[in-house]
């Protein structure tokens, strides 16, 4: 480990005497360097984190440096401590210097005349070099372990466990949908940080491209995030906790090695992913053709089973996407859902759409997983597997009625609304408004026609309700027929007028 003030003060060969109280954290802080200088302002040539040694020349003529300014500059740079030799130029450490060091919280050590500065400098340098060698050896050992772990059947899980043990911190893996992937024998994200880490992961994934980020976790450390997989088809995010000790180059190299191995492992599986997607699409064709037995056996061997009856079929279209469907994050998001609950959800690609099947009353998290990706779609009524082709048609018809205002439409809603409701979903009200355009400014005539049709075209009852003579009513209706270009003596004309009135009702 690197040298610190405690180890130097404990070494009797250095004869170091503290002239001001030093707290434990300062004593234990590692020293990056030790150096001597007699310049009145050595800070332009120093770096933070070290021990500065002087024989007192800066405080004697011709320099006569002001102790307050001298100490303030050292503290501003981040120097950890100051050592002053006595018995050479100074008989004792000047009282103003002791006072300023105490005021600024800078540890001040009296160095005996018999103690050569070079001995202290060499001790700090040797300790730093030894620590760097030890870190490098640990890093190389950890990388060898990680490489061996990658050859195991559970390669990805094994290398993450090795990474966590090597770094002595928490490591977590998130899938392409931002959900935690549970890796056996790893500690995972601390409970108190779960929300912050999940939010940070979601932000990185939302960028839809390869990225790395370090995010502060409310004063309790940081998390380093690195996407896995290629941009446009991210496979997930690796999260590594950073707390306490700085993340040095050796640790970063180890993380980079794990990321490279994990990415290679995931990319090597891409060919298998493509084959699985094509197989699902083939199974979907079998189901649509009514070959349910063969399709069910194939699914059972690969994914468990098909959802139990009664089922519903959903047809989803990705909205406002510039990506091809096979690289869109909706696919891995649905894969996560299907893997979590085998047999609860089956999905497959069909052209530019995704068809998903789930048990009635249990969508298995389908819509929650799909919502962040902005799909529109339709859902069939509840059916059995023998009626899968019918359900697929219903889902397509419902999806045609979807919109930004109503992204997902259930076929039950269309059927429950009747034919008139179906016409409303097809925007037939615009046609109806065009039909009734000749009556646009005649609210009274519209009311007369509505009452007349409500009485099934009976002149007497309609005239009585309107409070006009039946001949007046007939005259007004005949005039409306001419203006609208409809034959209101027959059922077809009356039905068209009735539907138009209902579709444009306020």
Tell me how far apart the alpha carbons of residues 391 and 401 are, in angstroms, rounded to a whole number: 16
CATH tag for 132-268 (out of 3.40.50.300, 3.20.20.70, 3.40.1390.30, 3.30.450.40): 3.30.450.40
Options 3.40.50, 3.30.70, 1.10.1060, 1.10.287; CATH for 272-416 is 3.30.70
Q: What is the pLDDT of residue 420?
A: 47
Number of Cβ within 10 Å of residue 182's Cβ equals 10
Each residue's pLDDT, cut to its tens digit, for the chain (506 residues) gives 789 998 999 999 999 999 976 778 888 889 999 999 999 999 999 999 999 999 999 999 998 999 999 999 999 999 999 999 999 999 999 999 999 999 999 999 999 999 999 999 999 999 989 988 887 777 777 677 767 765 665 566 777 777 777 777 888 888 777 777 766 656 777 777 888 888 888 888 887 777 878 888 766 678 888 887 765 667 778 888 876 555 666 777 777 777 777 766 666 555 666 778 888 889 999 998 889 888 888 888 888 889 999 999 999 986 444 444 555 667 777 877 887 788 889 998 888 889 999 999 888 888 888 887 778 888 999 999 999 998 998 898 888 878 778 888 888 877 555 554 555 455 566 677 778 888 877 888 888 988 898 888 889 888 899 899 889 989 998 988 888 888 888 888 888 888 788 777 65
φ/ψ of residue 496, rounded to 5:
-65, -40
Q: Which two tokens stand for residue 298?
A: 């194939």
DSSP run (H or E) holding 503: helix 491-503
**Same fold? 132-268, 428-503:** no
The number of beta carbons lying within 10 Å of the beta carbon of residue 28 is: 11
Report whether 14 contacts 118 (CB < 8 A): no
Long-range contacts (CB closer than 8 Å, 24 or more residues apart) made by 116-123: 117/36, 117/53, 117/85, 119/13, 119/14, 120/8, 120/14, 120/34, 120/51, 120/53, 120/83, 121/34, 121/35, 121/36, 121/53, 123/3, 123/8, 123/11, 123/14, 123/34
Q: Could you tell me the CA-to-CA distances from 357 to 350, 382, 501 in Å, in that order?
A: 13, 11, 39
Q: Are 127 and 241 in contact (CB under 8 A)?
A: no
Tokens of 438: 């000749």
pLDDT at res. 302: 83
The answer for residues whose C-beta is within 8 angstroms of residue 506's C-beta and 6 or more apart is none
User: 5-115 in CATH: which number?
Assistant: 3.40.1390.20
Collect all residues with Cβ–Cβ distance below 8 Å to 334 and sequence separation of at least 6. Answer: 345, 347, 354, 356, 366, 369, 370
> Is 428-503 a domain of CATH 1.10.10.2840?
yes
Q: Which residue has the tokens 């610190």?
A: 4
pLDDT for the residue 322: 44
Spatial neighbors of 333 by CB under 8 A, at least 6 apart, are: 176, 177, 369, 370, 372, 373
Residue 14 CA to residue 223 CA, distance in Å, equals 41
- C-beta separation of 20 from 108 below 8 A: yes
Position 320 scores a pLDDT of 44
CA distance 239 to 202: 12
Per-residue buried b or exposed e for 235-263, using 16+ beta carbons within 10 Å of the residue's own CB: bbbbbbbbeeeebeebbeebbebbbebbb
CB distance 477 to 455 below 8 Å: no
Pairing verdict, β 408-410 and 375-379 = parallel
Count of C-beta atoms within a 10 Å radius of residue 288: 17
Write down the domain spans for the chain.
5-115, 132-268, 272-416, 428-503
């Amino acid at each position: 480990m690197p040298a610190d003030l405690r180890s130097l003060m404990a070494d009797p060969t250095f004869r170091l005497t503290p002239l001001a109280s030093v707290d434990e954290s300062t004593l234990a802080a590692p020293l990056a360097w030790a150096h001597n200088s007699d310049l009145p302002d050595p800070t332009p040539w120093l770096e933070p984190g070290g021990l500065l040694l002087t024989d007192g020349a800066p405080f004697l003529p011709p320099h006569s440096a002001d102790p307050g300014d001298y100490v303030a500059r050292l503290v501003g740079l981040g120097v950890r401590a100051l050592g002053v030799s006595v018995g050479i130029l100074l008989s004792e450490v000047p009282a103003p210097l002791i006072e300023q060091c105490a005021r600024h919280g800078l540890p001040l050590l009296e160095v005996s005349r018999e103690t050569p500065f070079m001995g202290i400098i060499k001790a700090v340098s040797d300790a730093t070099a030894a620590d760097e060698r030890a870190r490098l050896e640990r890093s190389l050992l950890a990388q060898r372990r990680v490489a061996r772990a990658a050859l195991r059947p559970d390669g990805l899980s094994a290398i993450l466990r090795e990474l966590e043990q090597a770094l002595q911190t928490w490591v977590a893996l998130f899938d392409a949908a931002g959900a935690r992937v549970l890796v056996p024998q790893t500690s995972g994200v601390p409970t108190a940080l779960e929300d912050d880490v999940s939010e940070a992961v979601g932000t990185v994934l939302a960028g839809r491209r390869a990225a790395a980020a370090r995010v502060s976790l409310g004063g309790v450390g940081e998390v380093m995030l690195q996407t896995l997989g290629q941009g446009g088809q991210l496979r997930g995010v690796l999260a590594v906790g950073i707390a306490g000790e700085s993340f040095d180059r050796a640790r970063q190299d180890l993380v980079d090695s794990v990321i490279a191995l994990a990415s290679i492992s995931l990319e090597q599986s891409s060919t298998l992913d493509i084959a699985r997607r094509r197989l699902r699409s083939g199974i979907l064709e079998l189901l649509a053709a009514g070959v349910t037995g063969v399709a069910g056996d194939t699914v059972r061997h690969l994914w468990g089973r098909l959802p139990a009856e009664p089922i519903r079929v959903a047809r989803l279209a990705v909205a406002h996407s510039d990506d091809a469907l096979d690289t869109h994050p909706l696919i891995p998001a649905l894969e996560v859902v299907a893997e979590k609950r085998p047999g609860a959800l089956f999905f497959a690609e069909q052209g530019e759409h995704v068809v998903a099947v789930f048990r009635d009353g249990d969508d298995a998290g389908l819509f929650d997983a799909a919502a962040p990706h902005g799909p529109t779609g339709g859902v069939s009524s509840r059916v059995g597997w023998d009626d899968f082709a019918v359900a697929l048609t219903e889902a397509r018809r419902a999806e045609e009625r979807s919109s930004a205002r109503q992204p997902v439409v259930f076929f039950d809603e269309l059927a429950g609304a009747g034919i008139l409701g179906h016409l409303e979903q097809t925007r037939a009200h615009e046609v109806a408004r065009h039909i009734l355009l000749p009556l646009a400014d005649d609210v009274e005539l519209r009311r007369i026609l509505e009452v007349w049709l409500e009485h099934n075209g009976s002149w007497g009852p309609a005239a009585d309700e309107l409070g006009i003579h039946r001949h007046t009513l007939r005259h007004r209706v005949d005039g409306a027929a001419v203006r609208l270009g409809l034959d209101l003596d027959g059922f077809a004309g009356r039905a068209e007028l009735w539907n138009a009135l209902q579709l444009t009702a306020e």
